[in-house]
Amino acid sequence: GAGVEVLRPVEDALILHVLEKAMKLHGGGDSGLPGPSVGWVGKMALAARWLSAKVRREEVFWIPTGALEAFRALRAALPRHSMIAADFDALPDVVVAGHGAPLVSTTQHGANIDHATYLVPPGEADIFFPVNFDAISALYQDVSNGARVEHMASRSFIGEHGTPFATRCRDGYDPMLDDFTNTRVFVGEAPNVMNE
């Protein structure tokens, strides 16, 4: 059956680590509160504060703990790596509550059905998360000890690194440039690769 969501103070080490690193990387002080105008970091810090204080609020924040785990594993297995990854930075018609919330969708008889919760029975729906590329860039740089990292719209990446006209159709339509305008490309390079 479907799961149940329980709110309680933040004690998970991975969540606390993401919040701590994010605040340090973006100007957080000793008070545990972020500096001014820190965007996603400030929102996460506020989320942690209200969860820890057991204050009931209606805001929900989805943070990139899975990305942090993946970056740690990559650094441990391949410390001298370079990487390129692409993903969605925004998803249409998300009905799940929260900042950075996933799209939870099922296809039945050729029609998409979006769910208002991620608490669906296992295997019943696909769950797609939008990627906050600023957040994962900061986490990647921290894990990789100052790695070079950049991200850009897929269209820009293909324009800079692709072969012009290679994917253009006769009518001028180019699926690589005209579709998936809500995607970005992330490029990271470990410091020891850059220095060789």
Size of the chain in residues: 196
Run of H or E residues at 105: strand 103-108
pTM of the model: 0.75
Model pLDDT, residue 99: 83
**Can you give the C-alpha Rg of the chain in angstroms?**
19
More reliable by pLDDT, 90 or 44: 90
Contact 42, 34 (CB under 8 A): yes
41 within a domain of the structure (yes/no): yes
92 within a domain of the structure (yes/no): no
CA 63/CA 100 separation, integer angstroms: 7
122 within a domain of the structure (yes/no): no
Q: Which residues are registered as beta bridge partners of 39?
A: none
164 within a domain of the structure (yes/no): no
* Average pLDDT rounded to a whole number, residues 122-139: 91
> Residue 50 sits in which domain range?
1-63
Per DSSP, the three-state class of 88 is: strand
Per-residue model confidence as pLDDT tens digits over 55-84: 445 567 788 999 999 999 999 999 989 999
Q: How far from the centroid of its chain's Cα atoms is residue 117's Cα? A: 19
76 within a domain of the structure (yes/no): no
Read off the amino acid at residue 24: K
Closest CA to 178 of 161, 159, 192: 159
Run of H or E residues at 159: helix 154-161
105 within a domain of the structure (yes/no): no
39 within a domain of the structure (yes/no): yes
On the 0-12 / 13-18 / 19+ scale of CB atoms within 10 A, 23 is buried
Structure-block tokens of residue 156? 């820009």
How many independent structural domains does the chain possess? Answer: 1
102 within a domain of the structure (yes/no): no
pLDDT at residue 190 is higher than 70: yes
